[in-house]
């Protein structure tokens, strides 16, 4: 079905100066400029379709990811799209196991972010050529074909291909009903927009009141920099949202293990549902209750060690849809609810597709499940998320919702775009 | 004691075309060009001393690490050297926890390799200003000062600063004798130079015969690509070296967990001492017997989970001397012998300092311990290792042995150096 040969892969360093207003600030990232390495893939097909992909970054370092994308480009350019998605497992492994580039990962950090940006563009193009939103492409896909996109290396001790096939076969049962349910009711979301660490109490109150009015019932608060400050802010929010709404905490890797235990016990009175990233994201034995991981091998162990109560997938840190599929399937086997990480630049746009697929075709459950939502930067996307009363409404446009507006990309290109040129001439950046 | 303000940090992409002769080939890295991101730090001090640092890479991707080094440069340039080493823990954390760059790691992959290259240069400069080889600087250093170089974040549940202090205090006992012993007898080494995966049986035989003649008694073989091939090669080597010499295997992350167990059981008859990196380096629960890790948090868990029988430090993948110190101290507490990873470009030159310090001031034992040696590319270093009858003789020159010959750097600069220009014009690179 797919067609065309890749004739060009370009990548742009796009940055939004969010640090100016402390949007996105937390205990470890005090001044993030939400950014993306933004990939565009062109083919020689006459359909005029391009694939857009991105990975999310925090400002400085985006140029490093851009550099890594360029290093991978030779694996993509001049390939037939059919050659790529027809043996997607092989292509995935070609990127992640490049004999020279593997050394500077493997499958983690800069090279894995670059892999995600490139493969996100491939998935976008594939879905566009099929004329479907990505979630629908996945939902309609034959289980065998779907499994052929996953590299099972390093996870077969937790999940074999046969087990994955059984999960997907069972997922077909009542799939149609769940799809209709999603189209009608949407997927439940929680908001992180009210309580960034750098916000004043006044800002926090106003944002919280507005969110309640918009129907939000689940709220996440950034903590971990200063205990008395955390207590004051948690108290304030709990008072605002009342005893029945949900409250989640995120420490963004700030603590040592014992420190985390002590600190969280002081915040327990505010009844948080989970505490996110209490310590190093590498620390499986440090017992996070919810954690973002850098690859499937880390998720596998968190699941095997029963160190997770909720699992956060990430559309841009893992190796695109391919690796996220493997994690969704492992989560199903280990019966751990998936609550995706989102926010940043485009993470909401992308991850909604994955969690819709998860509900419709894998987990079949909404129990203890919700998808993060952050209300920033959607205006720069051509197909932004639709949130209605605190739920994600399934996107209808073909593709992976990854495409940004041309004008936004041009303006925010670092350092030559107008936005940056103005900031650089007017003030220190 | 240290002095001067850093006025420049430069970084060069240096590559050696080792893939042409299959040096360094293994089951996951079939065509490595041994390379380095090479950092030079200059100060305004009148002593004319510069700090040289590097991290090892495999060719492609070196430019990505170079890009990351440049992103970190602002943290180094214009700082007083005293400000850096006087609060080395703080400086280490400044690099590893940069609010924007942290996202594309943290403490792993490209950004961590870049951190290592920069800090290796700082340690080289510090040792040069003190007029001592790095190992001697460490051995003579007051335990409190030494601990002030280590960031204990994320490891206090395995090793507290107080415990580390006790280890170092005890290490002072009979330190003088051990130092003299090392100066006289050197530190035991094993060789990996005989059996790269891409070598023919004939090459393997000749190299093995030569090594035996030179006094080598410990040999490492690369395995993991093809089982019958591995059996043939292991048999050949075991016959060459006899039953009493040591044989180690390295699969370079090739297998799944069950695959590793099956494969290794087929090679058990050749009595390997260890099997290195059988599976993903992230897989703590996959039970490696010896593994290189990307940071102290991973090593901590391997130790806590008793998943390691030998521990391989790496002078260029961990965050320089600082992070290696924390790992040596954890290994001491958990009573696991350290057998450093070496080879590549400069890894032997650097890691010999760390293992000498480990013996003299931390472990005090040579039991089950040896340091890897690979006989490549030493001719490009100004202060190359001295190997005598299969032992490392302690280096005497001031610094961290990181400095390369100017001419070598110029010739091998990628892609503009003469060596590459010749290869590019004459053949595909």
Q: Please, what are the domains in chain A?
A: 175-406 (3.20.20.120)
Mean pLDDT calculated for residue range A159-169:
98
Q: Which of B103, B293, B318 to mutate to test the interface with A (most CBs of A within 10 A)?
A: B103
CB neighbour list of residue B339: distance below 8 Å, 6 or more residues apart: B190, B290, B310, B311, B312, B368, B369, B370, B371, B372
A426 touching B (Cβ < 8 Å): no
Mean pLDDT calculated for residue range B346-353:
98
Q: Are A198 and A30 in contact (CB under 8 A)?
A: yes
> Would you call the peptide bond into A415 cis, given omega within 30 degrees of 0 as the criterion?
yes
Alpha-carbon distance values, B394 to A407, B188, B359 (Å):
61, 11, 12
Alpha-carbon distance values, B277 to A113, A212, B24, B113, B127 (Å):
24, 52, 16, 19, 33
The residues of A annotated as belonging to the active site are: 222, 341
- The yes-or-no verdict on residue B272 having pLDDT over 90 is yes
pLDDT of A52 reads 98
- The yes-or-no verdict on residue A292 having pLDDT over 80 is no
**Tens digit of pLDDT for each residue in B127-144?**
999 999 999 999 999 999
Put simply, the chain B residues between 74 and 113 with a CB less than 8 A from any chain A CB are 97-113
Facing residue for B256 by CB, picked from A60, A157, A294: A157
Mean pLDDT calculated for residue range A71-91:
98
Dihedral (C-alpha) B416, B38, B59, A316: value to the nearest 10 degrees? -120
> Would you call the peptide bond into A106 cis, given omega within 30 degrees of 0 as the criterion?
yes
Mean pLDDT of chain B: 95
B61 touching A (Cβ < 8 Å): yes
pLDDT of B294 reads 87
The residues of B annotated as belonging to the active site are: 222, 341
Give A25→chain B minimum CA distance, Å: 9
pLDDT of A186 reads 98
pLDDT band at A305 (very low <50, low <70, confident <90, very high): confident
DSSP string, A280-322: -TT-STT--SEEE-SSHHHHHHHHHTT--SEEE--TTTSSHHH
Contact between A110 and B156 using a beta-carbon 8 Å cutoff: no
pLDDT of A26 reads 84
Facing residue for B64 by CB, picked from A68, A156, A256: A68
Contact between B99 and A28 using a beta-carbon 8 Å cutoff: yes
| H or E segment to which residue A262 belongs | helix A257-267
DSSP state of B361: I
Q: Which of B99, B252, B428, B429 to mutate to test the interface with A (most CBs of A within 10 A)?
A: B99
Contact between A154 and B286 using a beta-carbon 8 Å cutoff: yes
- The yes-or-no verdict on residue B51 having pLDDT over 50 is yes
Contact between B106 and A295 using a beta-carbon 8 Å cutoff: no
Query: What percent of chain B has pLDDT above 70?
Result: 99
- The yes-or-no verdict on residue A216 having pLDDT over 80 is yes
Residue A380's φ and ψ, nearest 5 degrees, are -90, -5
CA angle B4, B8, B9 (to 5 degrees): 115
pLDDT of A98 reads 94
- The yes-or-no verdict on residue A300 having pLDDT over 60 is yes
**Tens digit of pLDDT for each residue in B175-211?**
999 999 999 999 999 999 998 888 899 999 999 999 9
pLDDT band at A28 (very low <50, low <70, confident <90, very high): confident
Mean pLDDT of chain A: 95
Contact between A102 and B67 using a beta-carbon 8 Å cutoff: no
pLDDT of A429 reads 46
Q: What number of CA atoms fall less than 13 Å from residue A333's CA on the CB side?
A: 23
- The yes-or-no verdict on residue A137 having pLDDT over 80 is yes
Nearest CA in chain A to B108: A109
Contact between B156 and A256 using a beta-carbon 8 Å cutoff: yes
Put simply, the chain B residues between 347 and 366 with a CB less than 8 A from any chain A CB are none
B305 touching A (Cβ < 8 Å): yes
Contact between B99 and A68 using a beta-carbon 8 Å cutoff: no
DSSP state of A74: G
pTM of the model: 0.96
Facing residue for B33 by CB, picked from A100, A152, A259: A100
- The yes-or-no verdict on residue A427 having pLDDT over 70 is no
Give A31→chain B minimum CA distance, Å: 6
Mean pLDDT calculated for residue range A197-217:
94
Helices (H), A186-226: 201-213
A198 touching B (Cβ < 8 Å): no
CA pair distance B276, B222, nearest whole angstrom: 9
Is the Cα torsion angle A168, A173, A176, A178 positive or negative in sign? negative
Mean pLDDT calculated for residue range B345-365:
98
Residues of chain A in contact with residue B157, where contact means CB-CB under 8 angstroms, are: 256-258, 286
B379 CB burial (10 A radius; 0-12, 13-18, 19+):
exposed
Q: Which of A114, A168, A173 is nearest to A326 (CA)?
A: A168
pLDDT of B28 reads 83
Contact between B157 and A68 using a beta-carbon 8 Å cutoff: no
pLDDT of A381 reads 98
Alpha-carbon distance values, A42 to A56, A78, A126, A134 (Å):
21, 10, 12, 18
B151 touching A (Cβ < 8 Å): no
ipTM exceeding 0.85, yes/no:
yes
**Tens digit of pLDDT for each residue in B9-46?**
999 999 999 998 877 788 888 889 999 999 999 999 99
**Tens digit of pLDDT for each residue in A307-362?**
889 999 999 999 999 999 999 999 999 999 999 999 999 999 999 999 999 999 99
Facing residue for A256 by CB, picked from B153, B256, B280: B153
- The yes-or-no verdict on residue B343 having pLDDT over 80 is yes
B116 CB burial (10 A radius; 0-12, 13-18, 19+):
buried
């Amino acid at each position: 079905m797919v067609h065309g040969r890749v004739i060009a892969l370009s990548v742009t360093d796009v940055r939004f100066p969010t640090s100016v207003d402390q949007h996105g600030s937390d205990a470890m990232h005090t001044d993030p400029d939400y950014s993306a390495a933004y990939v565009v893939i062109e083919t020689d097909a006459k359909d005029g379709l391009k694939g857009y992909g991105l990975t999310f970054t925090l400002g400085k370092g985006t140029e490093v990811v851009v550099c890594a994308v360029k290093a991978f480009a030779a694996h993509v350019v001049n390939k037939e799209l059919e050659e790529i998605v027809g043996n997607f497992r092989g292509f995935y492994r070609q990127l992640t196991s490049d004999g020279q580039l593997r050394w500077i990962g493997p499958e983690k950090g800069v090279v894995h972010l670059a892999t995600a940006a490139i493969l996100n563009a491939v998935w976008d193009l594939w879905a566009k050529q099929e004329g479907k939103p990505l979630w629908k492409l996945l939902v309609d896909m034959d289980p065998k074909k779907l499994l052929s996109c996953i590299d099972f290396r390093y996870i077969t001790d937790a999940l074999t291909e046969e087990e994955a096939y059984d999960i997907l076969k069972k997922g077909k049962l009542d799939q149609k009903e769940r799809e209709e349910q999603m189209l009608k009711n949407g997927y439940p979301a929680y908001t992180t927009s009210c309580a960034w660490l750098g916000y004043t109490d006044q800002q926090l109150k106003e944002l919280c009141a507005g969110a309640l009015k918009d129907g939000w019932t689940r709220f996440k608060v950034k903590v971990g920099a200063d205990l008395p400050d955390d207590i004051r802010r948690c108290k304030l929010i709990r008072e605002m949202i009342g005893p029945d709404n949900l409250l989640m905490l995120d420490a963004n890797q700030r603590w040592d293990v014992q420190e985390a235990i002590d600190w969280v016990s002081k915040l327990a009175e505010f009844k948080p549902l989970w505490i996110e990233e209490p310590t190093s994201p590498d620390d499986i034995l440090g017992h996070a209750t919810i954690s973002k991981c850098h690859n499937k091998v880390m998720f596998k162990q968190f699941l095997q060690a029963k160190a997770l109560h909720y699992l956060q997938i990430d559309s841009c840190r893992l190796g695109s849809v391919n690796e996220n599929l493997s994690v969704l399937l492992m989560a199903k086997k280990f019966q751990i609810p998936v609550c995706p990480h989102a926010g940043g630049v485009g993470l909401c746009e992308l991850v909604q597709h994955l969690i819709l697929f998860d509900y419709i075709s894998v987990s079949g459950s909404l129990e203890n499940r919700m998808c993060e939502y952050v209300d920033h930067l959607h205006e720069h996307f051509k197909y932004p998320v639709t949130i209605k009363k605190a739920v994600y409404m399934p996107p209808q446009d073909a593709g992976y919702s990854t495409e940004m507006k041309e004008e936004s990309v041009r303006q925010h290109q670092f350092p030559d775009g107008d936005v940056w040129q103005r900031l650089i001439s007017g003030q220190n950046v």
